Structure 1
Amino acid sequence: MLLAACVSVRSRPAEGPLDEAQAYLHTWAAGDFAALRSRVTEPPASFEAQHQRFQGELRILSSRFELGRIERQEESAEASFRAIHLLQGLGEWEVDGTLRLVRRQGRWWVRWTPAVLHPEARDGSRFSRTRTRPERAALLDGRGQPLTHEGEVITIGVEPRRIQNLTAVSSALQSKLGVDPVRIQKALSAPGVAPERFLPLIDVRPERYQQVRPALAPVPGIFFRRKNARLSPAEGFAAHALGRVGEVTAELLPQLGPAYQPGDTVGLSGLELAYEPQLAGSPSGEVRLTLPSGKVRVLHRFTGSPGVPLHTTLLPEVQSAAEAALEGLAQPAALVAVDPRTGAILAVASRPLEQPLNRAFTGRYPPGSTFKAITAEAVLATGLGPDARVSCPPEVRVGGKRFRNFEGESFGDTSLRLAFAHSCNTAFVMMADALPADALGAAARRFGFGVSYPSGLPSPGASFPPPRNEAEQAAAALGQGRVLVTPLHMASVAAAAAAGRWRAPYLLTELAGGPSASLATGTRAPLHALMRAAVIEGTGKAAAGIAGLVGKTGTAEFGNVLPLPTHAWFIGSREGIGFAVLVEGGGVGGRVAVPIAARFASALSPAPLERSPVTAVTR
């Protein structure tokens, strides 16, 4: 019979020893020790205090009980029971106990001694516990080498009573470290904050500390503390993907469950949070009883388990190249690199570092003209080749909507190669309009649109809603309308164009072998030729000096206020790596995203690069 705290406690006397035992255990489970006293004959003065110490010393979160056999005499009885106590930070502790009951004045009472708490407890006994957490397991790179290690950091924070000018404190921390003033205000106004308490705000590495200390140290109220912390290879290295660790927050503690307690160091974001139980392992500990004689008995041992390393697919040299490519960029951005042969994610970078949003995985954007790689594959699947003749007028109307080329360009009667290279909107609108029904949607599905896949961290993938009319079909062919993607997914599109097969991207080795789809037969080589032309002679010409680079630029309109702002895109591949670059609200892809892509692609191989003059581009 299971007795839990959710069962209502009966206040009237029980009619028999079974009823009284049930009522007593119900009341104990509810934690109402005053009501528990009313069921005990001759309770000691310290009855409630002993229960409270028992619960507090062992950090018991809840108790439930299973009532066993009742052995009854004329005026006495014994009831066996099992107590299952949930100890915060350790787990469940089961104790087999006995309730002794007596009948007096027409009702049954519990005859209580400390042995009810535990059979070995006596008057004057004290309970205690130990707890040891295992060393946190490492995050590993694609070669099985650790990406994390223990090292020194400096915590920068504030002490409320020492602040003379809050504006000066906020301004200094924001300008030097990007700390949001709102966050400082929330920390200062949180309930229970003592004026003399140090409020941590941000951890920095020693080298960063040396850079900012001269500007921060003179500001009254800003203080520094050194501590050991879990570090990645470099500051900001795959920060949004790997995540960070720190002291468990009040909001997170209930989500992690009873194996955790205040003060624990846990994953707070990224993979560190998503795979917290695996990385942290489980703690070991003991429940101890100190007898009045001073002798200590171990009543129970919790056997912990070590953390298990998490195998990522990241390659440090590719990740470092991605970080370097985004260095100094003021606008929000993302860069993702994928292995076309497997779908393994080799690098993932998101900016700004101080914002929690992982744009690479969860940002949803229209892909703009990078989607023309998919539209081109649908066109190539009909049998047309790169040299097929197409028309590129300045503008065209489809379904009553006008579509124009960037800056009014027109190439007249031209080849598919040049229309792709120069990202001619009107040519692709007309080609899409001539495609068989659902041909464009089928091409999108071959590139993973509408496919759900586990990547290791939450990511919504890409969506291609069926066009509702000709105008929507035309907009979708240009990566506009209702088409939405993540930078992660567009990196998989670039990888698919390189390999001839789309493979779901994944960040953890255990997720290999996810969904995949082959591109249309015979489209890989001509699509590669089109994407090479875009770099050599088209909108990606600023990167023409990088040997072997192929790709497609994109300038994606968003919002509803004219003139419409645009995201800057580039997707491409080089040295067996497919990748995508997004600069949120960055403007023209060829002017903004291509130089970033060039810096990244040039770092993928130590071989000397072809060089050519940098030319102003338009997409």
Structure 2
Amino acid sequence: MRRVSRRGWRVEVSAAAALFLAACVSVRGRPAEGPLNEAQIYLRAWAEGDYAALRHVVADPPANLEEQHQRFREDLRILSSRFELGRVHHEEDSAVVTFRAIHVLRGLGEWEVNSALRFVRREGLWWVRWTPAVLHPEAREGDRFSRTRTRSERAEILDGKGQPLTHLGEVITIGVEPRRIQNRAAVASALQSQLGVDPVRLQKVLNAPGVAPDHFLPIIDVRPERYQLVRPALAPVPGIFFRRKKNVRLSPAEGFAAHTLGRVGEVTAELLAQLGPTYQPGDLVGVSGLELAYEPQLAGSPSGEVRLTHPSGEARVLHRFEGTPGTPLRTTLLPEVQSAAEMALEGVAQPASIVAVDTATGAILAIVSRPLEQPLHRALTGRYPPGSTFKVVTSEALLAKGLGADAPVSCPPAVAVGGKQFRNFEGEAFGNTRLRTVFAHSCNTAFVMLAASLEPDALGAAARRFGFNVEYQVGLPSPGASFPEPRDETERAAAAIGQGRVLATPLHMASVAAAAESGRWRAPYLVANIEEHPSASLSPGTRSPLHALMRAVVTEGSGRAAASIPGLAGKTGTAEFGSGTPLPTHAWFIGFHKGVGFAVLVEGGGVGGRVAVPIAARFAAAL
């Protein structure tokens, strides 16, 4: 181990230097003794921000050596620096070691500088002969570094026709000032009753580390018209304050496609770490939905300059960051369909969702998740047992086997499979009847017995034709649907009626309805430039009888609440979940109408025919 001792400062140049070389510096060729070792020491200290250590390897260091390095970093807002050693030009008592510095400037990105360390040898030791040119070859004593930065206007999110879905407008930020709060419970109650703000969220904001008691803490942004409605109830509550904010990105109406479009807000520390060095505190960025998922595309990259100003006032541009403008993001949403879906859910108290897709392409026309104040985009990411809506898939397998819509079947009140009893909803039984009737009235026992007559893989194959177990890209995260291979005949029976381990998103069940209408399953997608669209044809000869079965649900079966809508066809679902006696149920309806396939889900809503069908009828009527 070789040790170099300088004025009481000891540097180990073996294992430590090797680690430094691996982490910070790449050296062309074999490391040389002398000036190269000193260059490694100097650049390591620079990279680590240990400016005091620089003085130990500099000959006749200026009094402000550390200050010049520190000012260089602060003026340019350098996050980090790394270095690559170049060539060594060696003479008897002098040497030059070239290096490349890669400085990461907060909010701009990487700036590369080719520079050099000049050395002088005194009494057998090599010392850095320091000038400001170490920082940049053009720098001289008294020069100052500075920077500029400009961000272009954020690009638009477009609808399926290429028209903007967003515009700039004004909002009112409603927040709190901790020291003015007299009663936390009163503040929480007012914000919850007027704006639906979860009290737990308020507590997190107030109890966050480093919160200053005299600072305004934003809670929620509202449009001026809503502010006028809630202000009389909120303004008298001590601790609640309001701030006006202009040039804010807004959708056509409050809540319009809120979970999907997302929102723009000031970048958080967490997002800064994710988005990278071209962002800086204070930037407005996408914080949810498409605004976040496509942040780099919509925002583009900033432009800027690194400048060197001489004492005379003359400025020179050392480097330009050529920014790129944001580019619009085109979605498949149609505002009129989106508005129809949102109006259909007005007044629904439980968590709910509606998704609509184009049956000919798979393009998502509307997607709604409620409640607005919950961040979960349940229409895209919630996975639920599909219940009897899965009977569309089971029926396709039966039709592919050769069964007809009017084939004779039996619907007893109960049937046992593998020791498990399967019953019909509310004890219904239709005796000996037809497939059309048991489908229209959603007879569980009939489908359990019919599924037992299928080949072992027939149900799984039908599920794959409807996109179960198929990965696809939507444009936002969505897990699709899963049909695990049944482990025994009991699981197969449960799967046939959409229970057991079968799970699907509302989005996926909308694609199931669309496939029933068109005869081909197409992966749903939200962003227009997604290139890969998995698809699969349904079995030959099954499309027409599926239409007849799904139309019968509305005209004579469990979906009669929507009988006034001409041509509407679909399937109800009442899907059990959780625990208890009786088990709670989700309310489903999937259907198609005028080239639009859709799904309605009300979580814990109860009976599909009573809860989901009226919502579906409102939506279909609006179409």
Is the shorter-chain TM-score for this pair beyond 0.5, marking a shared fold? yes
> Which of residues 282, 304, 307 in structure 1 aligns to 2:323?
304
1:166-212 CA distances to partner (integer Å, 9 max, x unpaired)?
A: 11111101111111222222222222222221111111111111111
SS of equivalent to 2:172: strand
Q: Secondary structure at the match of 1:361?
A: helix
Q: Which amino acid aligns with 1:52?
A: Q
Distance 1:549 1:270 in 2: 31
Pairwise CA distance, 1:2: 12
Per-residue Cα deviation, 1:458-490 (whole angstroms, up to 9, x for no partner): 111111111111111111111001100000000
Which residue of structure 1 aligns with residue 104 of structure 2? 86
Tell me how far apart the structure 1 counterparts of residues 35 and 60 of structure 2 sit (CA, whole Å): 17
The answer to whether residue 202 in structure 2 is matched with residue 181 in structure 1 is: no
Alignment partner for residue 6 of structure 1, among 17, 23, 30?
23
Q: Does 2:39 correspond to 1:51?
A: no
Report SS of the residue matched to 2:114.
strand
Distance of aligned partners of 1:97 and 1:328 in 2 relative to their CA distance in 1, 3 Å threshold: same
How far is the alpha carbon of 1:34 from its aligned partner?
Answer: 1.1
Following TM superposition, by how much is the alpha carbon of 1:23 offset from its aligned partner in structure 2, in angstroms? 2.2
The 5 A counterparts of 1:510-529 are: 510-529=529-548
| 1:506-532 residue CA offsets vs partner (Å, 9 max, x unmatched) | 001112551101111101011000000
Q: 2:179 aligns with which of 142, 161, 168?
A: 161
Return the match for 1:77 from 66, 89, 95. 95
Structure 2 counterparts to residues 547-566 of structure 1, below 5 A:
547-566=566-585
What SS does structure 2 have at the residue aligned with 1:130? strand
Cα distance in structure 2, aligned partners of 1:71 and 1:533? 89
Distance 1:434 1:94 in 2: 71
Question: For residues 242-283 of structure 1, what are the alpha-carbon distances to aligned partners after superposition, in whole Å with 9 as ceiling and x for unaligned?
Answer: 111101111111111111111111111111111111111000
- Summarize the alignment of residues 228-377 of structure 1 with structure 2, pairs less than 5 Å apart: 228=246, 229-377=248-396
**In structure 1, distance between residues paired with 2:240 and 2:165:** 31
- Say whether 1:31 aligns with 2:56: no
For residues 87 and 315 of structure 1, the distance between their equivalents in structure 2, rounded to whole angstroms, comes to 41
Number of residue pairs the alignment of both structures matches: 599
2:512 corresponding residue in structure 1:
493
Once residues 176 and 4 of structure 1 are traced to their aligned partners in structure 2, the CA distance between those partners, rounded to angstroms, is 60
Q: What whole-Å deviation, never above 9, does each CA across 1:285-327 have from its counterpart, x for those lacking one?
A: 0111121112222111110000011110000000001111111
**Deviation readout 1:414-449 (Å, 9 max, x if unpaired):** 111111111111111111111122111111111001
Give the Å deviation of 1:26.
2.3
Give 2:440's match in structure 1, choosing from 400, 416, 421. 421
TM-score (norm 1): 0.95
Give yes or no for the alignment of 1:215 onto 2:230. no
Whole-angstrom distance in 2 between the partners of 1:382 and 1:276: 49
Q: What SS does the corresponding residue of 1:252 show, helix, strand or coil?
A: helix
Q: Distance in 2 between matches of 1:238 and 1:535?
A: 29
Higher mean C-alpha displacement, 360-369 vs 40-49: 40-49
8 Å CA contact 1:344–1:512 kept in 2: the answer is no
In structure 2, the partner of 1:224 is 242
Q: Secondary structure at the match of 1:511?
A: coil
- Contact in 1 for aligned 2:108/2:277 (Cα 8 Å): yes
- Post-superposition Cα deviations, 1:538-568, rounded to whole Å, max 9, x if no partner, equal 0000000011100000000001222210000
Deviation track 1:114-157 (CA, whole Å, cap 9, x = no partner) reads 12111222222211111111111111100011111111111110
Residue 474 of structure 1: aligned partner:
493
Match of 1:535 in 2: 554
Alignment check: 8 A CA contact 1:361 1:486 kept: yes
Alignment match of 2:470 (pick from 437, 451, 456)? 451
What one-letter code is carried by the residue in structure 2 that aligns with 1:130? T
Residue 406 of structure 2 aligns with an amino acid whose one-letter code is D
- Show CA shifts across 1:15-36 (max 9, x none): 5122222322222122211111
What displacement does 1:5 show?
9.0
Aligned-pair CA distance for 1:406: 1.1
From 145, 153, 156, the counterpart of 1:127: 145
Give the conservation status (yes or no) of the 8 Å contact 2:577–2:584.
Answer: yes
The whole-number CA distance in structure 1 between the counterparts of 2:565 and 2:531 is: 31
Q: Match for residue 594 of structure 1?
A: 613
RMSD, aligned CA: 1.6
Secondary structure (helix, strand or coil) at the match of 2:383 reads: coil
Q: Which amino acid aligns with 2:360?
A: R
Contact 1:506-1:512 within 8 A present in 2 as well: no
- Equivalent-residue separation in structure 2 for 1:395 and 1:423 (angstroms): 13
Tell me by how many angstroms 1:374 deviates: 0.8
In 2, Cα distance between equivalents of 1:198 and 1:546: 52
Q: Is the 8 A contact 1:378 1:440 kept in 2?
A: yes
1:442 matched to 2:461: yes
Contact map agreement 2:24 2:82 (CA 8 A) in 1: no
Name the structure 1 match of 2:15: none
* Cα distance in 1 between the residues matched to 2:33 and 2:453: 87
Amino acid at match of 1:264: D
Give, in whole Å, the separation in 2 of the partners of 1:15 and 1:2: 17
Residues 96-121 of structure 1 deviation map (CA, whole Å, 9 limit, x = unaligned): 21211111232111011112111222
Do 2:45 and 2:54's aligned partners in 1 also have CA atoms closer than 8 Å? Answer: yes
Contact 2:24–2:83 (Cα < 8 Å) also in 1: no
Judged with a 3 Å threshold, the aligned counterparts in structure 2 of structure 1 residues 49 and 330 are, in CA distance, closer, same or farther, namely same
CA pair 5-52 structure 1, distance change in 2 beyond 3 A: farther
Find the residue that maps to 1:413 and give its secondary structure.
strand
User: How far apart, CA to CA, are the structure 2 residues paired with 1:3 and 1:278?
Assistant: 37
CA distance in 1, matches of 2:75, 2:204: 33
Query: Which residue does the alignment assign to 1:507?
Result: 526
- In structure 1, what is the Cα distance between the partners aligned to 2:367 and 2:491? 32
Q: Percent of counterpart pairs with the same letter?
A: 77
Q: Structure 1: which 5+ runs fail to align? A: 9-13, 605-619
Contact residue 4 and residue 30 of structure 1 kept, 8 A: no
Deviation at 1:74, TM superposition (A): 2.1
Q: Write the distance in 2 (CA, Å) between the matches of 1:515 and 1:602.
A: 31
